[in-house]
Chains A and B, each alone.
Chain A
Amino acid sequence: MRLAPAHTQRLVVAGLWVLAAATVGVLMFIAAFILLRGLPQVTWQFLTDEPHRMGRAGGIFPIIVGTLLVTGLAVLVAAPVGVITAIYLTEYTREGRLTAIIRFGADCLAGIPSIIFGLFGFVFFVITLGMGLSALSGALTLSLMVLPTIIRTSEEAIRAVPASYREVSYGLGSTRWQMVTRVVLRSAMPGIGTGVVLAIGRSISETAAVMLTAGSALRLPRSLLDSSRTLALHFYTLSREGISMSNAYGTAAVLIVAILGINVTAYWLMRRFIGKMG
Chain B
Amino acid sequence: MKQDRIIHAALTVVALSAIGGLALITAFIFKEGLPLIVKVGAGKFLLSSDWYPTEGKFGIFAMIVGSLAVTAGAMVIGAVFGLGCAIVLTQFCPRRAAGLLKPAIELLAGIPSVVYGFMGVVVLVPLIREHLGGPGLSVLASSIVLGIMVLPTVTSISVDALQAVPRSYWEGSIALGATRWQTTHRVMLRAARSGIVAAFILGMGRAVGETMAVIMVAGNMLDVPTSPLDAVRTLTSNIALEMGYAAGEHRQALFATGVVLFVIIMVLNAVALHVSRRRGERAAA
| Chain A residues with a Cβ under 8 A of chain B | 5-6, 8-9, 12-13, 15-17, 19-20, 22-24, 26-27, 30, 33-34, 81, 84-85, 87-89, 92-93, 98, 101-102, 104-109, 111-120, 122-124, 128, 144, 147-148, 151, 175-177, 201-202, 204-208, 211-212, 232-233, 235-236, 239-240, 248, 252, 255-256, 259-260, 262-263, 267
Closest A residue by C-beta to B185 = A12
Judged by a CB distance under 8 angstroms, whether B209 is at the interface is yes
Q: Beyond A27-B108, A81-B17, A123-B32, is A20–B101 a contact (Cβ under 8 Å)?
A: yes
- Chain B count of residues within 8 A CB distance of the other chain: 81
Q: Beyond A105-B18, A105-B22, A120-B24, is A9–B111 a contact (Cβ under 8 Å)?
A: no
Say yes or no: A208 contacts B81, CB within 8 Å: no
Closest A residue by C-beta to B262 = A116
Say yes or no: B4 contacts A111, CB within 8 Å: no
Kindly list 9 other residue pairs between chains A and B, CB separation below 8 angstroms, not including A9-B180, A256-B111.
A19-B80, A19-B84, A33-B123, A92-B12, A108-B266, A114-B211, A239-B114, A255-B112, A262-B110
Q: What is the distance, in angstroms, from A206's C-beta to the closest C-beta of chain B?
A: 8
Say yes or no: A88 contacts B12, CB within 8 Å: yes
Number of contacts between A and B (CB, 8 Å)? 232
Say yes or no: B85 contacts A19, CB within 8 Å: yes
Contact mask B248-273 → A, CB, 8 Å, 1/0?
00000011001001100110110001
- Chain A contacts for B1, CB-based, 8 A: 175
Tell me the dominant secondary structure on chain B's binding face: helix
Q: What is the distance, in angstroms, from A83's C-beta to the closest C-beta of chain B?
A: 9
Say yes or no: A263 contacts B110, CB within 8 Å: yes
- Chain A contacts for B119, CB-based, 8 A: 30, 33-34
Say yes or no: B11 contacts A116, CB within 8 Å: no
Q: How far does the alpha carbon of A267 sit from the alpha carbon of B99 in the complex, in Å?
A: 11
Tell me the dominant secondary structure on chain A's binding face: helix
Closest B residue by C-beta to A98 = B12
Q: How far does the alpha carbon of A161 sit from the alpha carbon of B122 in the complex, in Å?
A: 47
Contact mask B89-129 → A, CB, 8 Å, 1/0?
10010000000110111111011111111110111000000
Q: What is the distance, in angstroms, from A109's C-beta to the closest C-beta of chain B?
A: 5
- Chain B contacts for A111, CB-based, 8 A: 202, 205, 209, 265-266, 268-269
9 A–B contacts, CB within 8 A, in A order: A6-B179, A12-B181, A23-B101, A24-B101, A102-B16, A115-B261, A176-B4, A260-B107, A262-B110
List residues 179-197 of chain B with CB under 8 A from any CB of chain A. Answer: 179-182, 185
Closest B residue by C-beta to A201 = B110
Say yes or no: B269 contacts A108, CB within 8 Å: yes
- Chain A contacts for B101, CB-based, 8 A: 20, 23-24
Q: Beyond A20-B88, A84-B15, A101-B19, is A232–B114 a contact (Cβ under 8 Å)?
A: yes
Say yes or no: A116 contacts B151, CB within 8 Å: no
Say yes or no: B110 contacts A144, CB within 8 Å: no
